[in-house]
């Protein structure tokens, strides 16, 4: 716990000192006195104190990842890889704007993200994309056209759950904030051969109701724990299926969650500072964009941050619907004009929040969709599916940011420099979590070891 008035070390403890000669204890005392003295003094703010505490080696959370899926495939040429010199039927109406990193330009609609480009990296050369609307590759990095092992590929959060388990008894290792889409392939692929025990906890559905004890005392819970243990041996003898073995994990996890309010509190935005909620923005979770997409709910990004602080290792969420097509007046650009500013506000708030709360080294953020969009704009379909190249946004994770990786040709059709695969991005995310994809495997349902990343995924060295 952060001690504003000094460390809890004994009298003989050697204080930690920063490069300016101040000890960590002195720094936090200065911060606390400044906070008491009022903002007019120009003293340390709470975000600065939290960041200093993190710099001193005290971390508020385990290594973690927030994955944001832009449902339907975002248009890379209109967002992060604009081509203003191309003919208008390729370039579109948006103009690039200079960011706070010299030489990096993004869409003019992302005015907030433009101010913090030093805190993220753009990958403009993501190759190996599928051509269909299928979220599977986004969530586990595998091209489903290549087949799958017995049980199916587990998604990223399920693999992390299987390898690392829960970071704390009061929070599951993997939480999904994804809304169920009526178009089946837009949904997460599931735990695959990792097994039911490593499926995500889904607080948006009926599972949230189970976070309430509903009158059951802790003593009764302990009685039930004892009963479960007394029949455990018999149950193992009678049923040794994967699902039943998974129920042991479910039971222990449920007891941990029920005896703590930490997870329920993280999901409750009424406990957040209203000014922070306002920074992210809000949307209606009951309105599914284009009916078969996800809702445009920027507050999901705030909930994701709160879950990370509660000890969750991986949080996934789906955001809006990015499968825009043409028609009279090219409605694709009308939708972009609606969605871009809302997305800009929420994503920039998330990135800044992670830095202000001392989480930027511990939590990595990845934002992407299933493919890119056609370079040429059609009056009939707008920008259509384009698997040749895609883009990705990475922030946090203690990575080297303020850069662009890769490049496309003059119309955004092909990668011409530093091609990156889904497997490479996943290798980098696993590395952030302390997992080496070159040596770590998971066993599928036929007992065969399977590597974690597709296409021989390798670490993106520019980031680490």
The verdict on 15 and 103 lying in the same domain is no
Whole-number pLDDT of residue 145: 85
> Can you point out the beta strands (E) in 71-155?
96-98, 105-107, 120-127
| 358 and 56 Cβ atoms separated by less than 8 Å | no
The mean pLDDT of 249-260, rounded to a whole number, is 60
Structural domain includes residue 66: yes
Structural domain includes residue 255: no
Structural domain includes residue 254: no
The number of helix segments (H) and strand segments (E) in the chain equals 15, 16
**pLDDT surpassing 90 at residue 138:** yes
The predicted model scores a pTM of: 0.81
pLDDT band at 48 (very low <50, low <70, confident <90, very high): low
The verdict on 36 and 86 lying in the same domain is no
Cα 118–346–405 angle (5° rounding)? Answer: 35
Inter-CA distances, 331 with 84, 324, 357, Å: 20, 8, 39
* Structural domain ending residue among the three candidates 58, 77, 103: 58
* Structural domain ending residue among the three candidates 58, 88, 106: 58
Higher-confidence position of 251 and 393: 393
Structural domain includes residue 239: no
The verdict on 92 and 193 lying in the same domain is yes
The verdict on 25 and 115 lying in the same domain is no
DSSP state of 296: -
Structure token pair of residue 287: 């309105």
Whole-number pLDDT of residue 271: 94
Dist CA 419 CA 35 (whole Å): 48
Dist CA 351 CA 346 (whole Å): 9
Q: Phi, psi at residue 368, to the nearest 5°?
A: -165, 175
The verdict on 389 and 306 lying in the same domain is yes
Quote the number of domains for the chain: 2
Beta bridge partners of 103: none
Whole-number pLDDT of residue 189: 96
The verdict on 23 and 145 lying in the same domain is no
| 164 and 154 Cβ atoms separated by less than 8 Å | no
pLDDT tens digits, one per residue of 383-420: 999 999 999 999 999 999 999 999 999 999 999 999 99
Q: Distance between alpha carbon 396 and the CA centroid of its chain, in Å?
A: 10
Structural domain includes residue 204: no
The verdict on 365 and 442 lying in the same domain is yes
| 316 and 177 Cβ atoms separated by less than 8 Å | yes
The verdict on 122 and 91 lying in the same domain is yes
The verdict on 104 and 174 lying in the same domain is yes
Torsion-angle region of 205 (φ positive above 0: left; ψ -120 to 50: alpha; else: beta): beta
Domain that holds residue 54: 1-58
Which of these, 460, 461, 456, 444, lies nearest to 191 by C-alpha position?
A: 444
The mean pLDDT of 76-80, rounded to a whole number, is 97
The verdict on 301 and 183 lying in the same domain is yes
Whole-number pLDDT of residue 252: 60
Structural domain includes residue 81: yes
> Can you point out the beta strands (E) in 266-350?
314-319
**pLDDT surpassing 50 at residue 168:** yes
Structural domain includes residue 209: no
The verdict on 413 and 360 lying in the same domain is yes
The verdict on 40 and 69 lying in the same domain is no
CATH number at residue 401: 3.40.720
**pLDDT surpassing 60 at residue 211:** no
| 87 and 80 Cβ atoms separated by less than 8 Å | no
Which of these, 359, 269, 365, lies nearest to 316 by C-alpha position?
A: 365
pLDDT tens digits, one per residue of 328-346: 667 889 999 999 999 999 9
Structure token pair of residue 366: 């990845």
Structure token pair of residue 381: 């379909």
Which of these, 284, 377, 389, lies nearest to 331 by C-alpha position?
A: 377
Structural domain includes residue 226: no
Dist CA 111 CA 105 (whole Å): 11
pLDDT tens digits, one per residue of 429-456: 999 999 999 999 999 999 999 999 987 7
* Structural domain ending residue among the three candidates 58, 75, 102: 58
């Amino acid at each position: 716990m952060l001690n504003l008035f000094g460390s809890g070390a004994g009298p003989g403890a050697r204080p930690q000192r920063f490069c300016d000669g101040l000890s960590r204890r002195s720094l936090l005392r200065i911060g606390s006195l400044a906070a008491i003295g009022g903002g007019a003094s120009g003293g340390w703010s709470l975000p600065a104190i939290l960041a200093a505490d993190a710099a001193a080696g005290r971390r508020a959370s385990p290594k973690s990842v927030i994955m944001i899926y832009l449902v339907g495939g975002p248009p890379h040429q209109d967002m992060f890889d604009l081509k203003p010199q191309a003919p208008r039927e390729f370039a579109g109406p948006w103009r690039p704007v200079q960011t706070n990193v010299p030489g990096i330009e993004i869409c003019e609609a992302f005015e907030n993200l433009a101010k913090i480009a030093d805190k993220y990296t753009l990958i403009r050369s993501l190759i190996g994309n599928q051509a269909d609307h299928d979220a599977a590759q986004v969530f586990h990095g595998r091209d489903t056209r290549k087949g799958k092992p017995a049980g199916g590929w587990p998604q990223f959060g399920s693999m992390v759950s299987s390898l690392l388990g829960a970071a704390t008894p009061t929070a599951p290792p993997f939480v999904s904030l994804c809304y169920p889409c009526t178009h089946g392939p837009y949904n997460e692929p599931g735990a695959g051969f990792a097994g039911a025990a490593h499926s995500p906890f889904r607080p948006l559905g009926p599972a949230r109701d189970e976070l309430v004890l509903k009158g059951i005392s802790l003593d009764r819970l302990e009685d039930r724990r004892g009963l479960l243990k007394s029949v455990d041996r018999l149950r193992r003898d009678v049923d040794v299926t994967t699902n039943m073995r998974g129920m042991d994990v479910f039971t222990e996890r449920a007891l941990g969650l029920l005896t703590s309010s930490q997870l329920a509190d993280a999901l409750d935005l009424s406990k957040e500072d209203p000014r922070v909620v306002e920074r992210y923005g809000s949307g209606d979770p009951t309105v599914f964009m284009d009916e078969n997409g996800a809702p445009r709910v920027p507050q999901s990004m705030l909930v994701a941050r709160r879950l990370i602080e509660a000890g969750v290792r991986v949080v996934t969420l789906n955001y809006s619907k990015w499968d825009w097509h043409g028609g009279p007046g090219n409605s694709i650009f009308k939708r972009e004009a609606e969605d871009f500013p809302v997305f800009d506000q929420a994503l920039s708030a998330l990135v800044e929040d992670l830095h202000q709360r001392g989480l930027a080294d511990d939590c990595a953020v990845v934002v992407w969709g299933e493919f890119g969009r056609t370079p040429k704009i059609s009056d009939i379909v707008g920008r259509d599916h384009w698997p040749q190249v895609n883009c990705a946004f990475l922030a946090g994770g203690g990575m080297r940011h303020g850069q662009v990786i890769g490049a496309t040709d003059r119309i955004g059709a092909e990668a011409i420099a530093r091609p990156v695969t889904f497997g490479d991005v996943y290798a980098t995310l696993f590395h952030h979590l302390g997992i080496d994809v070159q040596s770590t495997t998971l066993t599928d349902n036929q007992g065969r070891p399977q590597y974690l990343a597709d296409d021989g995924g390798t670490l993106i060295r520019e980031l680490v």
